[in-house]
């Protein structure tokens, strides 16, 4: 009997979907991804979650609701840690419980823990436990796991080559920056959580807008892990939140790159780690860089008009600063 596993298009979907899909495909299990975010999906999530939750968590609940009556299981790994001696935010850890406590008549959740904090912990344990739910053949699970790791590696390589993980039609297609579609005379680094900057509804299509304004866009995901870790290592104390370490390291790196003309930091309202990350990035900008920095905090009430005005003003500032620098370089 064939079963379908639902995968919400939320949180770490933007990093791990290729791996998860490959794993289930090789086990012969069908997957269904929730639709791209709409106002309706977001509103359902808001209604079913406490006010104190951050926007990405409310949205993730909306994506579970988009799936719950269409699938046999929902895949919601309890993500505790994705790297040694680091944690993902506690809201990830508690997310399966948030869902259970707020949604009735759920299909079974596949919510085994992914916890790589301690030496000797293994990702295979998670995949093996999930795989056992669908087959008793350990060799098949192992092969599916190996293929899934390959898929994740390719995904990371594509990101480092400059692709962004947008989706089309439920498949994880990649949409390349349209370098040839027009003149891109400035480069903007967009620094934020993947679930904020790659979700077109939540970000109000920020990346596409920047392309339309003639900007080339780079993100933290275009950098190899060793680069953002090295840059984040400039802080006197290591950040123990993996995603924020990635963001801070990327911001430090891009502030130093001559080809990057400005940075946009996108934060979620109600996110503790983001408020600290924003402060660190801003201090670095004030001390060591002349590059324009725009801090954008988004929540469910953020209006498109306000966002567009701020982006346009920022782009004017970036070009104005660039002209001043070009003039200064001519005369000195
Ligand atoms: S890191 Fe911030 S935005 Fe992300 S889930 Fe945690 S609180 Fe929410």
Q: What CATH number should be reported for the domain holding residue 304?
A: 3.40.50.11900
In this structure, are 184 and 322 located in the same domain?
yes
Residue 171 lies in a domain: no
Residue nearest to atom 1 of ligand 1 (CA): 89
Alpha helices in the chain (DSSP H): 13-26, 39-47, 55-67, 90-93, 95-102, 123-132, 138-160, 194-197, 206-212, 225-232, 242-256, 272-288, 304-331
pLDDT of residue 1: 60
- In this structure, are residues 321 and 261 in contact, taking their beta carbons and an 8 Å threshold? yes
Closest of 172, 220, 196 to residue 18, by C-alpha: 172
Kindly report the backbone phi and psi dihedral angles of residue 74, in degrees, each rounded to the nearest multiple of 5, phi listed first. Answer: -120, 130
Contact assessment for residue 232 and residue 249, using Cβ atoms and an 8 Å cutoff: yes
- Read off the CATH number of the domain in which 124 is found: 3.40.50
* 3 state SS of 58: helix
CA distance 130 to 141: 9
CA of 284 to the centre of ligand 1 (A): 22
Distances (CA, A) of 120 to 19, 116, 215, 240, 250: 21, 8, 44, 19, 28
In a domain? residue 174: no
Query: In Å, how far are 108, 182, 203, 274 from 302, measured between CA atoms?
Result: 34, 29, 10, 17
Kindly tell me if the per-residue pLDDT of 184 is higher than 80.
Answer: no
Among residues 231, 229, 156, which one has the least CA distance to residue 194? Answer: 156
Same domain as 31, residue 132: yes
Q: Is the pLDDT of residue 326 over 80?
A: no
Q: Is the CB of 7 under 6 A from ligand 1?
A: no
What is the distance between the alpha carbons of residues 143 and 145, in angstroms, rounded to a whole number? 5
Phi-psi region of 169 (alpha: psi -120 to 50; beta: other; left: phi over 0): left
- Ligand 1 pocket residue status of 58, Cβ below 6 Å: no
Beta carbons within 8 Å of 150's beta carbon, 6+ residues apart: 22
Q: Is 268 in the pocket of ligand 1 (CB under 6 A)?
A: yes
Residue closest via CA to ligand 1's atom 6 equals 89
Angle at CA of residue 249, ends 243 and 255, nearest 5°: 135
With a cut of 90, say whether residue 135 has pLDDT above it.
yes
204 lies in the same domain as 146: no
Contact 10 CB / ligand 1 (< 6 Å):
no
Query: In terms of domains, do 187 and 300 share one?
Result: yes
Q: Is the pLDDT of residue 47 over 90?
A: yes
Determine the distance from the C-alpha atom of residue 230 to the mean position of all C-alpha atoms in its chain, rounded to a whole number.
Answer: 20
Domain presence at residue 252 = yes
Q: Which one of 45, 91, 242, 299 would you pick to mutate in the ligand 1 pocket, going by the greatest count of ligand atoms within 8 A of its CB?
A: 91
Q: pLDDT-derived band of residue 251, with 50, 70 and 90 as boundaries?
A: very high
Q: Domain of 287?
A: 179-331
Q: Provide the whole-model pTM.
A: 0.91
Angle at 254 between CA 314 and CA 316, to 5 degrees: 15
- How many domains would you assign to the chain? 2
Instruction: Looking at the structure, tell me whether residues 75 and 212 fall in a common domain.
Output: no
The pLDDT tens digits for 191-247 are 999 999 999 999 999 999 999 999 999 999 999 999 999 999 988 888 889 999 999
């Amino acid at each position: 009997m064939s079963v379908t596993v639902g995968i919400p298009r939320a949180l770490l979907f933007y990093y791990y979907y290729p791996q998860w899909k490959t794993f289930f495909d090789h086990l012969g299990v069908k997957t269904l991804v929730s639709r791209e975010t709409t106002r309706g999906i977001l509103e359902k999530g808001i209604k079913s979650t406490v006010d104190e939750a951050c926007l990405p968590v409310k949205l993730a609940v909306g994506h579970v609701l988009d799936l719950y009556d269409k699938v046999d299981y929902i895949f919601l790994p309890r993500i505790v840690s994705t790297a040694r001696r680091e944690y993902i935010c506690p809201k990830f850890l508690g997310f399966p419980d948030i869902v259970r406590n707020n949604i009735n008549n759920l299909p079974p959740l596949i919510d085994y823990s992914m916890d790589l904090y301690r030496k000797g912990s293994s990702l295979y344990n998670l995949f093996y436990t999930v795989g056992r739910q669908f087959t008793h053949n350990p060799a098949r699970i192992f092969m599916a796991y190996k293929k899934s790791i390959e898929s994740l590696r390719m995904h990371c390589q594509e990101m480092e080559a400059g692709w962004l993980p947008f989706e089309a039609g439920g498949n994880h297609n990649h949409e390349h920056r349209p370098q040839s579609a027009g003149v891109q005379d400035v480069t903007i680094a967009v620094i934020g959580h993947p679930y904020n900057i790659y979700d077109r509804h939540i970000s109000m299509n920020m990346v596409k807008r920047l392309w339309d304004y003639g900007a080339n866009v780079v993100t933290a995901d275009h950098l190899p892990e060793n680069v953002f870790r090295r840059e984040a290592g400039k802080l006197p104390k290591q950040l123990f939140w993996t995603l924020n370490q990635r963001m801070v390291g990327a911001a430090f790196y891009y502030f130093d790159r001559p080809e990057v003309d400005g940075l946009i930091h996108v934060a979620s309202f109600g996110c503790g780690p983001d408020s600290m990350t924003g402060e660190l990035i801003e201090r670095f900008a004030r001390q060591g860089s002349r590059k324009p920095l725009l801090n954008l905090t988004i929540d469910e009430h953020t209006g498109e008009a306000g966002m567009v005005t701020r982006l346009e003003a920022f782009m004017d500032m970036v070009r104005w600063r660039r002209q001043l620098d070009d003039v200064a370089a001519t005369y000195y």
